[in-house]
Structure 1
Protein backbone atom coordinates (compact mmCIF):
# COMPACT_ATOMS: atom_id res chain seq x y z
CA UNK A 1 0.00 0.00 0.00
CA UNK A 2 2.82 2.39 0.93
CA UNK A 3 4.63 2.10 -2.45
CA UNK A 4 1.32 2.75 -4.23
CA UNK A 5 0.74 5.89 -2.18
CA UNK A 6 4.26 7.13 -2.92
CA UNK A 7 3.78 6.47 -6.61
CA UNK A 8 0.45 8.33 -6.60
CA UNK A 9 2.06 11.29 -4.82
CA UNK A 10 4.89 11.30 -7.35
CA UNK A 11 2.44 11.34 -10.27
CA UNK A 12 0.50 14.19 -8.66
CA UNK A 13 3.65 16.25 -8.09
CA UNK A 14 4.76 15.64 -11.66
CA UNK A 15 1.36 16.78 -12.94
CA UNK A 16 1.49 19.97 -10.86
CA UNK A 17 5.02 20.81 -11.96
CA UNK A 18 4.55 19.89 -15.61
CA UNK A 19 5.12 22.91 -17.81
CA UNK A 20 6.23 25.11 -14.95
CA UNK A 21 9.64 26.69 -14.92
CA UNK A 22 11.75 28.37 -12.30
CA UNK A 23 13.52 31.63 -13.08
CA UNK A 24 16.40 33.13 -11.11
CA UNK A 25 17.44 36.76 -11.45
CA UNK A 26 19.50 39.49 -9.85
CA UNK A 27 18.28 43.09 -9.62
CA UNK A 28 20.12 46.39 -9.20
CA UNK A 29 17.58 48.95 -7.98
CA UNK A 30 17.62 52.71 -7.60
CA UNK A 31 14.95 55.35 -7.15
CA UNK A 32 13.47 57.91 -4.80
CA UNK A 33 12.47 57.28 -1.19
CA UNK A 34 10.50 59.67 1.05
CA UNK A 35 7.84 59.84 3.75
CA UNK A 36 4.21 60.92 3.63
CA UNK A 37 1.69 61.69 6.33
CA UNK A 38 1.10 64.46 8.86
CA UNK A 39 4.41 63.74 10.61
CA UNK A 40 6.54 64.00 7.47
CA UNK A 41 8.12 67.38 6.73
CA UNK A 42 9.40 69.27 3.71
CA UNK A 43 11.57 71.47 5.99
CA UNK A 44 12.84 71.39 9.55
CA UNK A 45 15.35 73.00 11.93
CA UNK A 46 18.59 71.79 13.50
CA UNK A 47 18.70 71.86 17.30
CA UNK A 48 22.07 72.30 19.03
CA UNK A 49 21.94 71.04 22.65
CA UNK A 50 23.96 72.95 25.26
CA UNK A 51 24.72 69.80 27.24
CA UNK A 52 27.89 67.88 26.40
CA UNK A 53 28.26 65.36 24.78
CA UNK A 54 24.85 65.68 23.08
CA UNK A 55 25.19 66.30 19.34
CA UNK A 56 23.18 68.58 17.02
CA UNK A 57 20.19 66.85 15.48
CA UNK A 58 17.33 67.55 13.07
CA UNK A 59 14.06 68.24 14.83
CA UNK A 60 12.15 66.16 12.24
CA UNK A 61 14.34 63.96 9.99
CA UNK A 62 11.40 62.29 8.19
CA UNK A 63 11.53 64.19 4.91
CA UNK A 64 8.88 64.52 2.21
CA UNK A 65 11.62 65.16 -0.34
CA UNK A 66 12.83 62.20 -2.39
CA UNK A 67 16.36 61.02 -1.70
CA UNK A 68 18.46 58.85 -4.01
CA UNK A 69 18.22 55.23 -2.86
CA UNK A 70 19.69 51.98 -4.12
CA UNK A 71 19.80 48.25 -3.49
CA UNK A 72 20.87 44.83 -4.70
CA UNK A 73 18.43 41.92 -4.50
CA UNK A 74 17.98 38.37 -5.73
CA UNK A 75 14.74 36.85 -6.99
CA UNK A 76 13.32 33.40 -7.61
CA UNK A 77 9.94 32.89 -9.29
CA UNK A 78 7.82 30.10 -10.74
CA UNK A 79 5.94 30.51 -14.00
CA UNK A 80 2.95 28.18 -14.51
CA UNK A 81 1.66 26.91 -17.90
CA UNK A 82 -1.15 29.48 -17.64
CA UNK A 83 1.43 32.23 -17.07
CA UNK A 84 0.67 32.78 -13.38
CA UNK A 85 3.66 33.90 -11.30
CA UNK A 86 4.66 33.46 -7.69
CA UNK A 87 8.00 33.93 -6.01
CA UNK A 88 10.10 35.87 -3.53
CA UNK A 89 12.67 38.63 -3.70
CA UNK A 90 15.20 39.46 -0.98
CA UNK A 91 18.22 41.70 -0.63
CA UNK A 92 19.83 44.80 0.84
CA UNK A 93 18.75 48.42 0.29
CA UNK A 94 19.82 51.86 1.49
CA UNK A 95 16.69 54.04 1.58
CA UNK A 96 17.36 57.79 1.79
CA UNK A 97 14.89 60.64 2.32
CA UNK A 98 15.64 64.37 2.57
CA UNK A 99 14.30 67.37 4.49
CA UNK A 100 15.35 70.99 3.88
CA UNK A 101 17.03 72.88 6.74
CA UNK A 102 15.79 76.44 7.30
CA UNK A 103 17.22 77.36 10.70
CA UNK A 104 19.75 76.43 13.36
CA UNK A 105 18.70 76.85 16.99
CA UNK A 106 21.12 76.83 19.93
CA UNK A 107 20.99 78.12 23.52
CA UNK A 108 22.05 81.66 22.53
CA UNK A 109 21.82 81.44 18.78
CA UNK A 110 18.98 81.46 16.29
CA UNK A 111 20.01 81.91 12.68
CA UNK A 112 18.61 81.15 9.24
CA UNK A 113 20.27 78.27 7.43
CA UNK A 114 20.16 76.49 4.10
CA UNK A 115 20.90 72.90 3.20
CA UNK A 116 19.30 69.56 3.97
CA UNK A 117 19.33 66.50 6.17
CA UNK A 118 19.42 63.03 4.68
CA UNK A 119 17.99 60.13 6.69
CA UNK A 120 19.50 56.87 5.40
CA UNK A 121 17.93 53.57 6.50
CA UNK A 122 19.98 50.41 5.98
CA UNK A 123 17.38 47.75 5.26
CA UNK A 124 17.08 44.03 4.59
CA UNK A 125 14.07 43.63 2.29
CA UNK A 126 11.94 40.52 1.70
CA UNK A 127 9.09 40.58 -0.81
CA UNK A 128 6.89 37.53 -1.54
CA UNK A 129 4.75 38.17 -4.59
CA UNK A 130 2.23 36.77 -7.05
CA UNK A 131 1.06 37.97 -10.44
CA UNK A 132 0.86 37.20 -14.14
CA UNK A 133 3.03 37.13 -17.24
CA UNK A 134 1.05 39.25 -19.69
CA UNK A 135 3.26 38.67 -22.73
CA UNK A 136 5.79 35.96 -23.55
CA UNK A 137 6.89 36.27 -27.15
CA UNK A 138 10.03 38.29 -27.84
CA UNK A 139 9.63 40.16 -24.56
CA UNK A 140 8.36 38.71 -21.28
CA UNK A 141 6.25 41.28 -19.43
CA UNK A 142 5.44 40.53 -15.77
CA UNK A 143 3.04 42.33 -13.43
CA UNK A 144 3.17 41.33 -9.76
CA UNK A 145 2.11 42.49 -6.28
CA UNK A 146 2.52 41.43 -2.69
CA UNK A 147 3.57 42.42 0.82
CA UNK A 148 7.04 43.75 1.56
CA UNK A 149 8.94 43.39 4.84
CA UNK A 150 11.63 46.01 5.39
CA UNK A 151 13.87 44.99 8.30
CA UNK A 152 15.47 48.36 9.11
CA UNK A 153 18.88 47.73 10.68
CA UNK A 154 19.54 51.38 11.54
CA UNK A 155 18.67 54.89 10.42
CA UNK A 156 21.33 57.58 10.35
CA UNK A 157 20.88 61.29 9.68
CA UNK A 158 23.49 63.35 7.81
CA UNK A 159 23.15 67.12 8.27
CA UNK A 160 24.66 69.29 5.53
CA UNK A 161 23.80 72.95 6.08
CA UNK A 162 25.23 76.46 5.78
CA UNK A 163 24.66 79.22 8.35
CA UNK A 164 26.38 82.59 8.79
CA UNK A 165 28.57 81.79 5.82
CA UNK A 166 29.97 78.67 7.49
CA UNK A 167 29.41 74.99 6.78
CA UNK A 168 27.53 73.03 9.42
CA UNK A 169 27.77 69.23 9.33
CA UNK A 170 26.73 66.53 11.77
CA UNK A 171 25.55 62.94 11.74
CA UNK A 172 23.68 60.82 14.24
CA UNK A 173 22.03 57.46 14.58
CA UNK A 174 18.35 58.38 14.85
CA UNK A 175 16.56 55.05 14.36
CA UNK A 176 17.09 51.65 15.94
CA UNK A 177 16.09 48.40 14.26
CA UNK A 178 12.41 47.81 13.50
CA UNK A 179 10.09 46.28 10.88
CA UNK A 180 8.54 48.50 8.20
CA UNK A 181 5.61 46.66 6.59
CA UNK A 182 4.65 47.80 3.07
CA UNK A 183 2.45 46.94 0.10
CA UNK A 184 4.24 46.73 -3.24
CA UNK A 185 3.49 46.68 -6.99
CA UNK A 186 6.02 45.70 -9.67
CA UNK A 187 6.36 45.63 -13.44
CA UNK A 188 9.22 43.95 -15.31
CA UNK A 189 10.09 43.49 -18.96
CA UNK A 190 12.71 40.89 -20.01
CA UNK A 191 14.41 40.40 -23.32
CA UNK A 192 16.31 37.10 -23.14
CA UNK A 193 18.61 37.50 -20.12
CA UNK A 194 18.24 41.24 -19.57
CA UNK A 195 15.38 43.21 -18.06
CA UNK A 196 14.19 46.54 -16.77
CA UNK A 197 12.01 46.87 -13.69
CA UNK A 198 9.78 49.43 -12.00
CA UNK A 199 7.91 49.36 -8.72
CA UNK A 200 6.19 51.28 -5.97
CA UNK A 201 6.15 50.48 -2.25
CA UNK A 202 3.68 52.14 0.12
CA UNK A 203 4.41 51.84 3.82
CA UNK A 204 1.75 50.76 6.29
CA UNK A 205 3.88 51.15 9.45
CA UNK A 206 3.91 54.49 11.26
CA UNK A 207 7.63 55.32 11.44
CA UNK A 208 6.91 58.25 13.76
CA UNK A 209 7.24 55.97 16.78
CA UNK A 210 10.90 55.25 15.98
CA UNK A 211 12.32 58.73 16.53
CA UNK A 212 11.87 61.82 18.69
CA UNK A 213 10.80 65.31 17.76
CA UNK A 214 7.80 64.75 15.46
CA UNK A 215 4.10 64.61 16.06
CA UNK A 216 1.79 62.70 13.74
CA UNK A 217 2.26 59.90 11.24
CA UNK A 218 5.13 59.18 8.86
CA UNK A 219 4.76 56.38 6.31
CA UNK A 220 7.46 55.32 3.87
CA UNK A 221 7.16 55.26 0.09
CA UNK A 222 9.69 54.13 -2.50
CA UNK A 223 9.61 54.61 -6.27
CA UNK A 224 11.91 52.00 -7.86
CA UNK A 225 13.63 51.71 -11.23
CA UNK A 226 16.15 49.00 -11.92
CA UNK A 227 18.02 46.62 -14.13
CA UNK A 228 17.75 42.83 -13.97
CA UNK A 229 19.77 39.91 -15.21
CA UNK A 230 17.92 36.59 -15.63
CA UNK A 231 19.92 33.38 -15.43
Structure 2
Protein backbone atom coordinates (compact mmCIF):
# COMPACT_ATOMS: atom_id res chain seq x y z
CA UNK A 1 0.00 0.00 0.00
CA UNK A 2 2.90 2.38 0.77
CA UNK A 3 4.33 2.01 -2.77
CA UNK A 4 0.88 2.69 -4.30
CA UNK A 5 0.46 5.87 -2.26
CA UNK A 6 3.93 7.19 -3.16
CA UNK A 7 3.41 6.43 -6.85
CA UNK A 8 0.04 8.19 -6.90
CA UNK A 9 1.43 11.30 -5.18
CA UNK A 10 4.29 11.50 -7.71
CA UNK A 11 1.86 11.10 -10.60
CA UNK A 12 -0.45 13.80 -9.25
CA UNK A 13 2.44 16.21 -8.71
CA UNK A 14 3.82 15.60 -12.21
CA UNK A 15 0.39 16.23 -13.73
CA UNK A 16 0.04 19.37 -11.63
CA UNK A 17 3.28 20.83 -13.03
CA UNK A 18 2.46 19.94 -16.62
CA UNK A 19 -1.07 21.33 -16.95
CA UNK A 20 -1.17 24.06 -14.32
CA UNK A 21 -3.53 22.50 -11.80
CA UNK A 22 -4.41 24.21 -8.57
CA UNK A 23 -3.64 22.27 -5.39
CA UNK A 24 -5.71 21.94 -2.22
CA UNK A 25 -4.90 20.26 1.07
CA UNK A 26 -7.76 19.39 3.39
CA UNK A 27 -8.12 18.14 6.96
CA UNK A 28 -11.17 15.94 7.60
CA UNK A 29 -12.94 14.91 10.80
CA UNK A 30 -14.77 11.74 9.86
CA UNK A 31 -17.70 9.83 11.26
CA UNK A 32 -20.05 7.24 9.86
CA UNK A 33 -22.25 4.19 10.27
CA UNK A 34 -20.46 0.86 9.84
CA UNK A 35 -21.92 -2.65 9.62
CA UNK A 36 -21.43 -6.06 8.03
CA UNK A 37 -23.56 -7.66 5.34
CA UNK A 38 -23.82 -11.15 3.88
CA UNK A 39 -25.23 -14.46 5.06
CA UNK A 40 -22.84 -14.57 8.04
CA UNK A 41 -23.69 -11.12 9.43
CA UNK A 42 -26.30 -11.11 12.19
CA UNK A 43 -28.42 -8.59 14.09
CA UNK A 44 -28.66 -10.87 17.14
CA UNK A 45 -26.25 -13.32 18.73
CA UNK A 46 -25.34 -14.94 22.04
CA UNK A 47 -22.46 -14.95 24.51
CA UNK A 48 -20.89 -18.33 25.17
CA UNK A 49 -19.57 -18.24 28.73
CA UNK A 50 -16.24 -19.53 29.95
CA UNK A 51 -15.99 -21.74 33.03
CA UNK A 52 -16.01 -18.73 35.42
CA UNK A 53 -19.61 -18.02 34.40
CA UNK A 54 -19.39 -14.26 33.73
CA UNK A 55 -17.07 -13.75 30.76
CA UNK A 56 -16.83 -15.44 27.38
CA UNK A 57 -17.06 -14.68 23.68
CA UNK A 58 -19.75 -13.59 21.24
CA UNK A 59 -20.85 -16.52 19.10
CA UNK A 60 -20.83 -14.34 15.97
CA UNK A 61 -19.28 -10.87 16.46
CA UNK A 62 -19.99 -9.59 12.92
CA UNK A 63 -22.94 -7.30 13.50
CA UNK A 64 -25.43 -6.29 10.81
CA UNK A 65 -26.48 -3.24 12.84
CA UNK A 66 -24.83 0.16 12.38
CA UNK A 67 -22.23 1.26 14.90
CA UNK A 68 -20.99 4.86 15.11
CA UNK A 69 -17.46 5.23 13.78
CA UNK A 70 -14.87 7.99 13.76
CA UNK A 71 -11.57 9.00 12.17
CA UNK A 72 -9.16 11.71 11.07
CA UNK A 73 -7.63 12.10 7.60
CA UNK A 74 -5.51 14.38 5.45
CA UNK A 75 -6.44 14.91 1.81
CA UNK A 76 -4.53 16.43 -1.09
CA UNK A 77 -6.27 17.07 -4.40
CA UNK A 78 -5.57 18.83 -7.68
CA UNK A 79 -8.09 20.55 -9.91
CA UNK A 80 -7.50 21.17 -13.61
CA UNK A 81 -8.69 24.18 -15.53
CA UNK A 82 -11.55 22.01 -16.74
CA UNK A 83 -12.54 21.26 -13.09
CA UNK A 84 -11.48 17.60 -13.20
CA UNK A 85 -9.91 16.31 -10.00
CA UNK A 86 -7.32 13.76 -8.87
CA UNK A 87 -6.35 13.20 -5.26
CA UNK A 88 -5.72 10.96 -2.30
CA UNK A 89 -6.84 10.88 1.32
CA UNK A 90 -4.84 9.11 4.03
CA UNK A 91 -5.89 8.69 7.65
CA UNK A 92 -6.88 6.63 10.65
CA UNK A 93 -10.37 5.32 11.33
CA UNK A 94 -12.15 3.20 13.89
CA UNK A 95 -15.04 1.30 12.30
CA UNK A 96 -17.52 -0.32 14.71
CA UNK A 97 -20.33 -2.73 13.94
CA UNK A 98 -23.02 -3.64 16.46
CA UNK A 99 -25.36 -6.51 17.29
CA UNK A 100 -27.86 -7.31 20.04
CA UNK A 101 -27.07 -9.95 22.68
CA UNK A 102 -30.30 -11.67 23.70
CA UNK A 103 -29.05 -14.78 25.54
CA UNK A 104 -26.05 -16.42 27.17
CA UNK A 105 -25.04 -20.06 27.15
CA UNK A 106 -23.07 -21.42 30.07
CA UNK A 107 -22.30 -24.28 32.38
CA UNK A 108 -22.86 -24.55 36.13
CA UNK A 109 -22.25 -27.38 38.57
CA UNK A 110 -25.30 -29.30 37.35
CA UNK A 111 -24.96 -28.87 33.57
CA UNK A 112 -25.48 -26.43 30.71
CA UNK A 113 -27.96 -23.58 30.90
CA UNK A 114 -29.28 -20.72 28.76
CA UNK A 115 -30.41 -17.35 30.13
CA UNK A 116 -32.30 -14.51 28.49
CA UNK A 117 -30.32 -11.25 28.64
CA UNK A 118 -30.30 -7.74 27.16
CA UNK A 119 -27.11 -6.20 25.82
CA UNK A 120 -24.93 -5.61 22.80
CA UNK A 121 -21.52 -6.37 21.31
CA UNK A 122 -19.38 -3.98 19.27
CA UNK A 123 -16.66 -5.16 16.91
CA UNK A 124 -14.11 -2.34 16.77
CA UNK A 125 -11.82 -2.30 13.71
CA UNK A 126 -8.80 0.04 13.75
CA UNK A 127 -7.45 0.82 10.28
CA UNK A 128 -5.04 2.98 8.34
CA UNK A 129 -6.94 3.95 5.20
CA UNK A 130 -5.82 5.31 1.82
CA UNK A 131 -8.38 6.62 -0.67
CA UNK A 132 -7.08 7.50 -4.16
CA UNK A 133 -9.83 9.13 -6.21
CA UNK A 134 -10.93 10.94 -9.37
CA UNK A 135 -13.70 13.50 -9.58
CA UNK A 136 -15.29 16.63 -10.95
CA UNK A 137 -15.98 20.03 -9.37
CA UNK A 138 -19.09 22.17 -9.79
CA UNK A 139 -18.35 25.75 -8.75
CA UNK A 140 -20.24 29.03 -8.39
CA UNK A 141 -18.65 32.00 -6.61
CA UNK A 142 -17.57 30.78 -3.13
CA UNK A 143 -19.69 27.62 -3.35
CA UNK A 144 -18.34 24.38 -4.79
CA UNK A 145 -19.50 20.77 -4.97
CA UNK A 146 -17.03 17.91 -5.52
CA UNK A 147 -18.24 14.60 -6.96
CA UNK A 148 -15.57 11.93 -6.47
CA UNK A 149 -15.13 8.18 -6.69
CA UNK A 150 -12.29 5.80 -5.97
CA UNK A 151 -11.12 2.87 -3.87
CA UNK A 152 -10.59 2.63 -0.12
CA UNK A 153 -7.50 0.58 0.73
CA UNK A 154 -7.84 -0.22 4.42
CA UNK A 155 -5.00 -1.86 6.37
CA UNK A 156 -6.40 -3.46 9.53
CA UNK A 157 -4.28 -2.77 12.61
CA UNK A 158 -6.52 -4.63 15.04
CA UNK A 159 -10.04 -5.91 15.52
CA UNK A 160 -11.59 -6.45 18.95
CA UNK A 161 -15.02 -7.41 20.20
CA UNK A 162 -16.35 -5.85 23.37
CA UNK A 163 -19.77 -6.85 24.68
CA UNK A 164 -21.90 -6.58 27.77
CA UNK A 165 -25.32 -7.95 28.68
CA UNK A 166 -27.48 -8.11 31.81
CA UNK A 167 -29.74 -10.99 32.83
CA UNK A 168 -33.17 -10.80 34.45
CA UNK A 169 -31.54 -11.49 37.81
CA UNK A 170 -29.27 -8.45 37.41
CA UNK A 171 -26.10 -10.42 36.72
CA UNK A 172 -23.76 -8.86 34.13
CA UNK A 173 -21.92 -10.84 31.47
CA UNK A 174 -19.10 -9.44 29.33
CA UNK A 175 -16.72 -10.17 26.46
CA UNK A 176 -13.38 -8.63 25.45
CA UNK A 177 -11.56 -10.62 22.79
CA UNK A 178 -9.13 -10.03 19.93
CA UNK A 179 -10.73 -10.86 16.57
CA UNK A 180 -7.99 -9.71 14.20
CA UNK A 181 -8.02 -11.81 11.04
CA UNK A 182 -8.37 -10.03 7.71
CA UNK A 183 -5.48 -7.61 7.14
CA UNK A 184 -6.55 -5.59 4.10
CA UNK A 185 -9.99 -4.53 2.87
CA UNK A 186 -10.76 -2.96 -0.52
CA UNK A 187 -13.90 -0.81 -0.68
CA UNK A 188 -15.19 1.00 -3.81
CA UNK A 189 -16.31 4.42 -2.61
CA UNK A 190 -18.36 7.35 -3.90
CA UNK A 191 -18.60 10.72 -2.18
CA UNK A 192 -20.06 14.21 -2.54
CA UNK A 193 -18.54 17.22 -0.76
CA UNK A 194 -19.83 20.78 -0.47
CA UNK A 195 -17.66 23.80 0.35
CA UNK A 196 -18.31 27.41 1.21
CA UNK A 197 -14.93 29.08 1.31
CA UNK A 198 -12.62 26.89 3.41
CA UNK A 199 -15.34 25.03 5.33
CA UNK A 200 -17.07 21.97 3.94
CA UNK A 201 -19.11 18.87 4.70
CA UNK A 202 -19.34 15.54 2.93
CA UNK A 203 -21.29 12.29 2.69
CA UNK A 204 -20.19 9.05 1.07
CA UNK A 205 -20.76 5.33 0.72
CA UNK A 206 -18.34 2.39 0.51
CA UNK A 207 -18.83 -1.37 0.22
CA UNK A 208 -16.11 -3.90 1.01
CA UNK A 209 -14.95 -6.54 -1.45
CA UNK A 210 -13.11 -8.75 1.07
CA UNK A 211 -14.73 -11.51 3.12
CA UNK A 212 -14.07 -10.96 6.85
CA UNK A 213 -14.87 -14.63 7.56
CA UNK A 214 -12.54 -16.05 4.95
CA UNK A 215 -10.90 -19.18 6.35
CA UNK A 216 -13.61 -19.84 8.95
CA UNK A 217 -14.71 -23.48 9.16
CA UNK A 218 -18.31 -24.69 9.05
CA UNK A 219 -21.40 -23.35 7.29
CA UNK A 220 -21.49 -20.48 4.81
CA UNK A 221 -18.94 -17.81 5.64
CA UNK A 222 -19.72 -14.61 3.73
CA UNK A 223 -19.32 -11.28 5.49
CA UNK A 224 -18.52 -7.93 3.85
CA UNK A 225 -18.17 -4.43 5.26
CA UNK A 226 -20.49 -1.51 4.49
CA UNK A 227 -19.88 2.10 5.50
CA UNK A 228 -21.93 5.28 5.24
CA UNK A 229 -19.56 8.19 5.82
CA UNK A 230 -20.09 11.83 6.77
CA UNK A 231 -17.83 14.50 8.18
CA UNK A 232 -16.46 18.04 8.33
CA UNK A 233 -13.74 19.40 6.02
CA UNK A 234 -11.35 22.31 6.37
CA UNK A 235 -9.09 23.57 3.59
CA UNK A 236 -5.58 24.19 4.88
CA UNK A 237 -4.47 25.33 1.42
CA UNK A 238 -6.29 26.28 -1.77
**Which of the residues 115, 119, 125 maps onto 2:123?**
119
RMSD between superposed Cα atoms in Å = 2.1
Residues 214 and 220 (structure 1 numbering): CA distance in 2 closer, same or farther, change over 3 Å?
A: farther
Whole-angstrom distance in 1 between the partners of 2:35 and 2:182? 18
Bigger CA drift: 29-38 or 134-143?
134-143
* CA deviation profile, 1:125-172 (whole Å, cap 9, x unmatched): 000000100224221110000111111111100111112321222211
Deviation at 1:14, TM superposition (A): 8.6
Whole-angstrom distance in 1 between the partners of 2:154 and 2:212? 12
Match of 1:195 in 2: 200
Deviation at 1:13, TM superposition (A): 7.5
Match of 1:143 in 2: 147
Residues 146 and 103 (structure 1 numbering): CA distance in 2 closer, same or farther, change over 3 Å?
A: same
The 5 A counterparts of 1:44-193 are: 44-50=45-51, 56-107=56-107, 108-163=112-167, 164-176=169-181, 178-193=183-198
Whole-angstrom distance in 1 between the partners of 2:141 and 2:196? 9
Given that residues 181 and 212 in structure 2 are in contact (C-alpha distance below 8 angstroms), is that contact kept between their aligned partners in structure 1? Answer: no
* Gaps in structure 1 of 5+ consecutive residues: 1-11
Given that residues 38 and 224 in structure 2 are in contact (C-alpha distance below 8 angstroms), is that contact kept between their aligned partners in structure 1? Answer: yes
Whole-angstrom distance in 2 between the partners of 1:73 and 1:33? 17
* CA deviation profile, 1:8-44 (whole Å, cap 9, x unmatched): xxxx9898332x1010000001111001111100000
Match of 2:7 in 1: none
* CA deviation profile, 1:39-90 (whole Å, cap 9, x unmatched): 100000111133x8xx610011100100010000000000000000000001
Report the secondary structure of 2:60's partner residue.
coil
Whole-angstrom distance in 1 between the partners of 2:16 and 2:220? 56
Report the secondary structure of 1:113's partner residue.
strand
* Gaps in structure 2 of 5+ consecutive residues: 1-13
Match of 1:209 in 2: 214
Specify the structure having the higher radius of gyration (Cα). Answer: 1
TM-score using structure 2 length: 0.85
Whole-angstrom distance in 1 between the partners of 2:72 and 2:42? 28
* CA deviation profile, 1:66-122 (whole Å, cap 9, x unmatched): 001000000000000000000000100000000111110113221111110000000
